[in-house]
């Protein structure tokens, strides 16, 4: 009995069989493993995925305003979602890593998986064109698209930050006006956002206190996501 070809399970899971095996190998090669790595394909795949999802949402949710479409797309293409899809495709079994990266766990590993998903999609687009990659993406994202709630309002940064902290049982942030400068009709507010046990602070500046708080919360979300 003949052994199953190397990528047979992956091709089945993707619903696409590569003609050029070198291409899928490159898409699954982290830069730590080889000079022919997947970063350029990831660049291409990220753009293709963003476009296919944008079109899908545009067509499927024809009465939903742009702000909600943007939020829905962000949910679908964020690293966390892509890492889940990479796991479901079992990409971890195929990705070639350098010896240093093999030991990395958790967050680092998720981001390698997410990048590989994008690179694989870029490679399919490169080899087979838009219609084929569209069919692959639609199938991979179908359940997630159907679960989206198009009516949910995009959450403002202060709300997002509060939920992020509550989910991790962290103390809530404090906002403090640091300075108000400028004439009455053109004031600039600088607000600091501080989280006690994170020893982190960020600032936001805007022409209203409310807006400066949102900017500071947004900067804090950025800092927390980088950690």
Q: Which stretch binds its own copies (CB under 8 A): 78-86, 92-100, 154-162, 215-223?
A: 215-223
Instruction: Report if residue 203 touches its own copies, rule: CB under 8 A.
Output: yes
Answer for which of 178, 187, 196, 208 binds its own copies (CB under 8 A) is 178
State the minimum distance, in angstroms, from the CB of residue 47 to its own copies.
Answer: 4
Neighbours of 111 (CB within 10 A): 15
Instruction: Report if residue 219 touches its own copies, rule: CB under 8 A.
Output: yes
Q: Smaller CB distance to its own copies: residue 113 or 133?
A: 133
- Those residues whose C-beta lies under 8 Å from the C-beta of residue 13, and which sit 6 or more positions away, are 88, 89, 90
- Nearest to 125, CA basis, from 137, 113, 114, 112: 137
Contact of 27 with 39, CB cutoff 8 Å = no
Alpha helix segments (H runs only) across 129-197 = 130-147, 157-167
Residues at the binding site are: 42, 115, 118
Distance, CA of 84 to CA of 140 (rounded, Å): 11
Answer for which of 11, 13, 34, 54 binds its own copies (CB under 8 A) is 54
Distances (CA, A) of 47 to 54, 173, 176, 185: 10, 35, 39, 42
The token pair at 208 is 């209203």
Site for its own copies in 94-113 (CB under 8 A): none
Q: Which stretch binds its own copies (CB under 8 A): 35-43, 88-96, 99-107, 138-146?
A: 35-43
- Phi and psi torsions of 172, nearest 5°: -75, 155
Answer for which of 190, 191, 213, 217 binds its own copies (CB under 8 A) is 190
- The angle, 0 to 180 degrees and rounded to 10, between the axes of the packed helices 130-147 and 66-77 is 100
State the minimum distance, in angstroms, from the CB of residue 202 to its own copies.
Answer: 6
Q: Smaller CB distance to its own copies: residue 48 or 85?
A: 48
Instruction: Report if residue 187 touches its own copies, rule: CB under 8 A.
Output: no
Q: Which residues are identified as catalytic?
A: 46, 118
Q: Which stretch binds its own copies (CB under 8 A): 6-14, 17-25, 125-133, 140-148?
A: 125-133
Instruction: Report if residue 118 touches its own copies, rule: CB under 8 A.
Output: no
Alpha helix segments (H runs only) across 31-180 = 39-60, 66-77, 79-88, 99-102, 106-128, 130-147, 157-167
Give residues in contact with its own copies (CB under 8 A). Answer: 39-40, 42-44, 46-48, 50-51, 53-55, 58, 65-66, 69-70, 125-126, 130, 178-179, 188, 190, 199-206, 215, 219, 222-223, 226-227
């Amino acid at each position: 009995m003949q052994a199953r070809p190397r990528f047979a399970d992956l091709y089945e899971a993707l619903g696409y069989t590569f003609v050029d095996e070198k291409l899928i190998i490159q898409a699954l090669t982290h830069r730590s493993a080889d000079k022919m790595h997947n970063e350029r394909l990831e660049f291409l795949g990220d753009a293709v995925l963003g476009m296919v999802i944008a079109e899908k949402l545009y067509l499927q949710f024809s009465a939903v305003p742009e702000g909600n479409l943007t939020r829905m797309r962000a949910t679908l293409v964020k690293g966390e979602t892509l890492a889940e899809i990479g796991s479901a495709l079992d990409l971890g079994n195929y990705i070639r890593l350098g010896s240093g990266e093999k030991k990395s766990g958790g967050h680092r590993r998720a981001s390698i998986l997410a990048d590989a998903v994008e690179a694989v999609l870029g490679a399919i687009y490169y080899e087979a064109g838009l219609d084929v990659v569209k069919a692959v993406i639609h199938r991979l994202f179908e359940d997630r698209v159907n679960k989206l709630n198009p009516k949910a309002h995009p959450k403002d940064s202060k709300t997002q930050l509060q939920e992020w902290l509550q989910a991790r049982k962290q103390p809530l942030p404090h906002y403090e006006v640091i300075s108000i400068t400028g004439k009455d009709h053109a004031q600039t507010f600088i607000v600091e956002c501080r989280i006690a046990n994170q020893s982190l602070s960020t600032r936001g500046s805007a022409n209203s206190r409310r807006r400066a708080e949102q900017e500071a919360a947004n900067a804090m979300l950025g800092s927390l996501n980088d950690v």
